[in-house]
Structure 1
Amino acid sequence: MDAQVAPEFPDSIEWLNLAQPLRMAQLRGKVCALAFVNAGSAWSMQRLHDLVTLLGRHRERLNVVAVHVPRFDHERDPRRALKRLRGHGFQLPLGHDPNWTLWQHYGVEAWPTVVLLDGEGRVAGRLVGDGPLRELDAQVGDLVRALVPQSLNPQPIELRRSGEPELPLRFPVGLAVSGNYLYVADTGHNRVLECDQGGRILRQFGSGGVGFIDGPMELAAFNRPRGLAVERDLLYVADTGNHAVRRIQLRSGDIDTVFGAGRPGTSGDVRVVDPRSVTMDSPTGLALAAGKLYVATAGDNRVWSFDLGDHSLRCLAGSGRLEVADGVGAEASFAQPVDVAAVQQMVYVCEAAGSAIRAVNARTGAVQTLVGRGPWEFGAEDGARSAASLQQPLALGLDPESPRLWIADSGNDRLRVLRLGGGEVSTFELPRPLHGPAGLAMAPGVAWIADTDAHAVLRLDLANGDLHHIPLGE
């Protein structure tokens, strides 16, 4: 396959952001990284961000083309796929392969896979998974240096100028409530907002520019912050793009790093002395309980426990393998854990790729599956836990007034409820549909919902089902 000429893009590929369908001839004369990705995969998105970094180094000699291949039914809709990819700000050709046609042409077997093409349009290599950037950089660099100058004048690749509407929020995800304050991770704007519950913005944490900078709230910087957890005058932030957990001192507004080196990796159990020496892999969800901060890391399929007293960080559970498997500690496996909720010694885990809800005993590390059967089994069925199904859930919330776990069932655009203690899964009927909800915060009688793909935050009255748009910054 190493000398094979890359096949032409089939007509079934839907180009999400191009004025005209892309042809292979337009890529010749430069090295091309053809990335087969899934918009909901943390590893795929990390690999695309790696390629954007390389594009900055080799812009005149490198093309990057992303082809989205769906895992879930809802991802077959090109509009949903484009929404998720836009949330990362990618400015490169984005194709959609709903029937896995191009995937099969290249014999791809896993997300992400990067197929490298030389300047003649021949397959020159492939990398599977989200391995070290240096390996990808080395292979791209070798091909760039081997380019032979050509007098090609191909039709330029023209990106459409359309995008998301200019709104106060852009793909909000994490939510937290403390007293009369509502905190919002405005993920697409790389900032965290403090608001009153009517939607008036009181403070902005982070400059809004992409960066990994501690300091005063107006100078500090985040990179795609997601999960939030608040306790008294401290707000913890899962700074996903920086592979770090950050902390906002709410009295002063100052921001510092709890742990995270700014690059993906798995640290192992450590006592955190130098925060920037600890590697994490796409932390996305946070929860506080009994003096511990629990962290879901979507990039390495693990759940971590950080002791706020002695600053010890340990892996609570997870082998690193992508699967839904019960067990104790490292014997158990998760399928892209994206959010956590905790009470006393019980940690509940929401898994996007596994379409599952799990429970972890914080004392023993024992993991039990509450809902879900595996990465390729999903649906929208209510009923007994053993028969109920979800589709790419992205957030959890514990009801403070009853033993219920609320679930943002993003792939189905629904709000679901799991009654704890052996109860059933049900759908909470809403007066209007949701749009890719990816954040939840619970208060007595109220659920706050990040309606992520609609760039909105909603307030749900649990007693009467009234659903209201909160005009943040409007």
Structure 2
Amino acid sequence: MAGADDFLALQADFEEVLASKESKDSRRDCILQHFSKLDKNKSFRIPDFDKDLDWLNVSAPLQFSHDGSLQGKVVVLDFFTYCCVNCLHVLPDLHRLEQRHSLQDGLVIIGVHSAKFLNEKVTANILSAVLRYDITHPVVNDSETSLWQKLSIMCWPTFVIVAPHGQVLYYIVGEGHSDVLFEFVELALEHYRSQGQISPHTLLPLSLEKDQQVEAPLSFPGKVHVGPGPDQLVVSDTGHHRLLVLDRVTGVVQTIIGGKEKGFQDGSLQDARFNSPQGVTSHGNLLFVADTENHALRQVDLSSGQVTTLAGTGAQGEDKQGGNPGPQQPLSSPWDVATGVSPGGEEVDVVFIAIAGTHQIWAYFLKDVTWWKSKPFKAGSCARIAGSGNEENRNNSYPDKASFAQPSGLAVSPREELDSLFIADSESSTVRALSLKDGSVKGLVGGDRDPKNLFAYGDEDGSGIEARLQHSLGVALLSPSGPLLVADSYNHKIKSVDIKTKQCTTVLGTGAPGHVAGGDSSSVQLNEPGGLCVDTQGQLVYIADTNNHSIRVLDWNTKTVSQLPVIFDKENTKPQEIQLDSASLVKGIYLPEVTLQPGANLQFSLDLKFAPGLYGNLEAPNSWKLSSGDEAGQKFLSSLPTDVIKGRLHPDAKSHETLASLKIADDVTTSSLILVLTCQVFVCHPDNSCTQQRQQFVQKLNISPSGIADHVSVAVLEVS
């Protein structure tokens, strides 16, 4: 029996004959004759899967053996690795193939995951990718690439079509061959059905992973952006195919853009549809969005409430030059965006785009601009500005001769600072710098001197090329001059790069995936963080902790980490000052009225009582505050330090907290006053959703020499 190399030589001879067939009928006859020849010679039978491999989307392993579950089926093996954008590009083809030919028709598609990066060998990480990309066919983790080697596979993606009796029929290498894939699969089904070899009633032990998951407020958030307002944060809720605008202090959702179902549709914020959006940035009230799997650049006008497509057709493009009007210009997997100023401009006039699919940096021009070497571009056009389109780690003084490898993150330093566009180049595991002055491309950290070596990855702090990253996906500047923060995704870390010395240092993450929550940054764990951004003060770093379905917040000054809750709640969460003529106007819970003597001590405490199954989100901004209910109360509180009248709550399951201890002045002149205690608690539910509960308590005080000397007012908050 021939081996894989012999079979591939046979296929090369067959393809030479097939290429001479011009009509559809002649191609059909040639392919069917090829199948018959293979059936007769039985030249190369598919090796079976190794035992003890981990399988996803099925409850038991699948086998090609004589009595195995794949007998009687035409099988398409998809050799992929989940970091590879080319592998992602063929998933829609496989989905259409599955829709056209069901299991009962005799077709089985199996994803054979063959890892490039060490992080991709872990089944739990492959599971996250299966869920993220909505893969519903069986997937096997061939972590040691055993079948890859037996079949002499050379690159991702590669399809291998297998007959119902296990004979290998055809290899298809690379993306962009969906017509050939459909042609060979359909003819194989026809051929073997006519021979009675298809077993339509043989069932697979399908058990979809997505059906076993608990819904969460976020699903694989890819990127974050501080803006458009100073207290707002935009989150790409990638797995839910939408954008969320949050209050970045409380996490309350202010605006939802798009819906949970994927699509490609302009219109209102509610009607618009996206497909796995990633990068987002803003200018004024405009958001610019890398709508990755729609291969489009979208604009969200928060003033008018409208979403429009600026560039891209909704289908994957192969153009590596561009220059067409935006809606007529095909794009290929835009992954991140950033606004900037053209070489001759004075204000924001360009949106930079990391085009992962063709390994280039493009730009959408908001105005007529003059680019490097006096090249003009019209407003509304979209074009390549750097990158040859070859997948390489090639630096060069000429931007069109430089090469990138799946650029996935962007950060701009303005002209008055570094005048550079920093790029997280994921497949080369590097960070690169594109000069906005002259277009030269230089390496900052990571990678190898050989531009074709895309396997120079690891997890090493160090300077320049000595540093090692693993599939870096995001970058953000702590200040316009640095340092540069890097989402070192497959190392589950955030790293900091001194731009002058090129020194790269770990600041967050242990190197192991996990979800160790807030606290000291040395112990916090992340899981494939995909993006990050920094607030305008350069203090708070917001991290899209992608596989943990959460947003983490790193305080750069204190090096502590918390988690930002995502609250779908229409209430205003900021405690408001309450102005009253009388206590009857306050909508709250009344505490027992009390009479105190001058010089008395008044203490407020809180008892929290959670309904079964509920618990407090300890990382959220749980808080309390005393405000005035009348003029006398306002005067009293204004004489006290701020930290005495407000603070944080720590809502444990059985929580009793002392909040404020106040002293009534000995020379107080008022006879009564009203204080209002506002408590804000973020509550977690069994379905992983979070809500906010806000309650006000009203305390009326009378002041009299005959009053008591000390009193504790106990507020009880029933959390439900």
Q: Same-fold call, TM > 0.5?
A: yes
Match of 1:439 among 513, 531, 535: 531
Equivalence for 1:6 = 46
Indicate conservation of the 8 Å contact 2:86/2:156, yes or no: yes
Residue 402 (structure 2) pairs with residue 332 (structure 1): yes
1:58 Cα deviation from its structure 2 partner: 1.5
> For structure 1, which segment, 351-360 or 367-376, has the greater mean C-alpha deviation from structure 2 after superposition?
367-376
Q: 1:361 to 1:274 in 2, by over 3 A?
A: closer
> For structure 1, which segment, 350-359 or 115-124, has the greater mean C-alpha deviation from structure 2 after superposition?
115-124
Identity %: 30
Q: Secondary structure at the match of 2:255?
A: strand
1:101 Cα deviation from its structure 2 partner: 0.4
1:401 Cα deviation from its structure 2 partner: 5.8
Which whole-Å deviations, capped at 9, do the CAs of 1:379-421 have from their partners, x for residues lacking one? Answer: 1111211311111111111123652110011111111011112
Residue 230 (structure 2) pairs with residue 187 (structure 1): no
Equivalence for 1:39 = 82
Equivalence for 2:694 = none
Residue 359 (structure 2) pairs with residue 301 (structure 1): yes
Which whole-Å deviations, capped at 9, do the CAs of 1:4-34 have from their partners, x for residues lacking one? Answer: 2212111153213321111123233332210
Indicate conservation of the 8 Å contact 1:35/1:48, yes or no: no
Partner Cα distance (2:166, 2:205) in 1: 16
Equivalence for 1:167 = 216
Indicate conservation of the 8 Å contact 2:413/2:480, yes or no: no
Partner Cα distance (1:319, 1:7) in 2: 39
Q: Secondary structure at the match of 1:263?
A: coil
> For structure 1, which segment, 389-398 or 46-55, has the greater mean C-alpha deviation from structure 2 after superposition?
46-55
Q: Counterpart of 2:425 in structure 1: which amino acid?
A: E
Q: Counterpart of 1:354 in structure 2: which amino acid?
A: S
Equivalence for 1:97 = 142
1:329 Cα deviation from its structure 2 partner: 2.0
Which whole-Å deviations, capped at 9, do the CAs of 1:291-316 have from their partners, x for residues lacking one? Answer: 21111111111111221111232211
Indicate conservation of the 8 Å contact 1:259/1:272, yes or no: no
1:469 Cα deviation from its structure 2 partner: 0.6
Q: 1:419 to 1:274 in 2, by over 3 A?
A: closer
Partner Cα distance (1:352, 1:45) in 2: 15
Equivalence for 1:30 = 73
Indicate conservation of the 8 Å contact 1:449/1:457, yes or no: yes
Equivalence for 2:411 = 341
Residue 561 (structure 2) pairs with residue 467 (structure 1): yes
Q: Secondary structure at the match of 1:102?
A: helix
Q: Counterpart of 2:243 in structure 1: which amino acid?
A: V
Equivalence for 1:259 = 311
Indicate conservation of the 8 Å contact 1:87/1:188, yes or no: yes
> For structure 1, which segment, 31-40 or 131-140, has the greater mean C-alpha deviation from structure 2 after superposition?
131-140
Indicate conservation of the 8 Å contact 1:269/1:313, yes or no: no
> For structure 1, which segment, 344-353 or 129-138, has the greater mean C-alpha deviation from structure 2 after superposition?
129-138
Q: Counterpart of 2:566 in structure 1: which amino acid?
A: L
Partner Cα distance (1:340, 1:401) in 2: 13
Equivalence for 1:452 = 546
Which whole-Å deviations, capped at 9, do the CAs of 1:140-180 have from their partners, x for residues lacking one? Answer: 23323323244635352322555433110000011111111
Match of 2:488 among 409, 421, 426: 409
> For structure 1, which segment, 124-133 or 444-453, has the greater mean C-alpha deviation from structure 2 after superposition?
124-133
Q: Secondary structure at the match of 1:296?
A: strand
Match of 1:387 among 466, 489, 501: 466
Partner Cα distance (2:525, 2:272) in 1: 36
When the two chains are superposed, the root-mean-square deviation of aligned CA atoms in Å is: 1.7
Q: TM-score, normalised by structure 1?
A: 0.96
Match of 1:375 among 450, 454, 457: 454
Partner Cα distance (1:380, 1:335) in 2: 19
Partner Cα distance (1:311, 1:160) in 2: 43
Match of 2:184 among 139, 142, 167: 139
> For structure 1, which segment, 102-111 or 11-20, has the greater mean C-alpha deviation from structure 2 after superposition?
11-20
Partner Cα distance (1:401, 1:292) in 2: 18
**Higher normalized contact order (CA 8 Å, seq sep 6+, divided by chain length):** 1
Partner Cα distance (1:192, 1:229) in 2: 12
1:188-203 → structure 2 map (5 Å cutoff):
188-197=239-248, 198-203=250-255
Partner Cα distance (1:5, 1:64) in 2: 18
1:124 Cα deviation from its structure 2 partner: 1.3
Indicate conservation of the 8 Å contact 1:12/1:101, yes or no: no
Which whole-Å deviations, capped at 9, do the CAs of 1:253-311 have from their partners, x for residues lacking one? Answer: 21110111111113344444360x21111110111111211111111111112211112
Q: Secondary structure at the match of 1:26?
A: coil
Partner Cα distance (1:405, 1:224) in 2: 26
Indicate conservation of the 8 Å contact 1:6/1:123, yes or no: yes
Indicate conservation of the 8 Å contact 1:205/1:253, yes or no: no
Equivalence for 2:679 = none
Partner Cα distance (1:62, 1:217) in 2: 40
- Unaligned runs of 5+ residues in structure 2 are 1-6, 12-37, 39-43, 342-348, 368-378, 509-520, 568-689, 691-720
Partner Cα distance (1:281, 1:367) in 2: 21
Which whole-Å deviations, capped at 9, do the CAs of 1:425-448 have from their partners, x for residues lacking one? Answer: 111142411111001111121110
Partner Cα distance (1:376, 1:409) in 2: 15
Q: Secondary structure at the match of 1:145?
A: helix
Q: Secondary structure at the match of 1:110?
A: coil
1:365 Cα deviation from its structure 2 partner: 2.4
Equivalence for 2:391 = 322
Match of 1:83 among 95, 109, 128: 128
Indicate conservation of the 8 Å contact 2:359/2:391, yes or no: yes
Residue 115 (structure 2) pairs with residue 21 (structure 1): no
Partner Cα distance (1:170, 1:49) in 2: 20
Q: 1:228 to 1:136 in 2, by over 3 A?
A: same
Q: Counterpart of 2:175 in structure 1: which amino acid?
A: D
Matched residues, number: 473
Equivalence for 2:434 = 360
> For structure 1, which segment, 340-349 or 249-258, has the greater mean C-alpha deviation from structure 2 after superposition?
340-349
Which whole-Å deviations, capped at 9, do the CAs of 1:363-387 have from their partners, x for residues lacking one? Answer: 4321111112241111111121131
Q: Counterpart of 1:279 in structure 2: which amino acid?
A: P
Match of 1:158 among 185, 206, 210: 206
Partner Cα distance (2:69, 2:139) in 1: 15
1:44 Cα deviation from its structure 2 partner: 0.8
1:331 Cα deviation from its structure 2 partner: 1.2
Which is greater in Rg?
Answer: 2
Equivalence for 2:300 = 248
Partner Cα distance (2:203, 2:162) in 1: 18
Q: Secondary structure at the match of 2:60?
A: coil
Match of 1:234 among 270, 286, 290: 286
> For structure 1, which segment, 344-353 or 135-144, has the greater mean C-alpha deviation from structure 2 after superposition?
135-144
Partner Cα distance (1:187, 1:151) in 2: 39
> For structure 1, which segment, 363-372 or 136-145, has the greater mean C-alpha deviation from structure 2 after superposition?
136-145
Indicate conservation of the 8 Å contact 1:112/1:130, yes or no: yes
